[in-house]
Amino acid sequence: METGLNTMIDLLKNVASPECPGPTAGAFHAQFFISLMNDVFAVLTDTSHKPGFKQQCAILQSMLNLVETGMITVNLFDPATQPPGSTNGQFLRLHLANLLGSSFSNLSRQQVEMFVTKIFELHNNPGGFKELIRDFLVQLKSFGGDNSDLYQEERALEQQRQNAALPQALQAVDAAKEAEEDAAMMD
């Protein structure tokens, strides 16, 4: 699963890059953006996909960032179905509020709208964005039980900080790294 999520992150970066011609990027976004967003939210809120949390957040954040920074220049909606002057940001906020509101009847409309507003506000703050998503998932109660996979990255960073604080003689040894360093010295 991790490979597929990393591929999606790379795809979004490539389509948004200057090397991807505007008409090609526009056609991709017009055809696939909303369905990809829906699918990522479906996977993110499915309790069997907790291990991909970091990449799922990165995908969502990247997608919201494209909308908020104006990188998507085509309409993500049918202009005939939206009020005149609607923007992609306005449409996507409404779309996500409706999607999440209809998917999770245990949340009030106010809770959903507050969440949607916040994810757009945090579109360029990876730490805050991930924390908000994690809190939302816990709030859904669909993530009852063991949520430790949602905190995997933080635990790894804490372990690194603790190891770095130890005197060198007490630090854990990375056997593979030691072998590489020894091999490099032999050359």
Cβ(104)–Cβ(140) under 8 Å? yes
- Give the pLDDT of residue 47: 76
User: Residue 61: pLDDT above 80?
Assistant: yes
Contact 6, 55 (CB under 8 A): yes
pLDDT tens-digit series, residues 91-113: 999 999 999 999 988 888 999 99
Calpha distance 63→36 (Å, rounded)? 9
Mean pLDDT of 55-67: 94
pLDDT of residue 144: 44
Cβ-contact 50, 147 below 8 angstroms: yes
- What pLDDT, on the 0 to 100 scale, is given for residue 143? 44
Mean pLDDT (the chain, rounded):
84
Q: Give the pLDDT of residue 19.
A: 85
pLDDT digits (tens, 9 = 90+) for 34-45: 999 999 999 988
All residues at 6 or more sequence positions from 62 whose CB lies less than 8 Å from its CB, including other chains: 9, 12, 13, 16
| 160 or 26, higher pLDDT | 26
**Amino acid letter at 51?**
P
Residue 153 has pLDDT above 50, yes or no: yes
17-21, 77-81, 97-101: least confident range: 17-21
Neighbours of 38 (CB within 10 A): 14
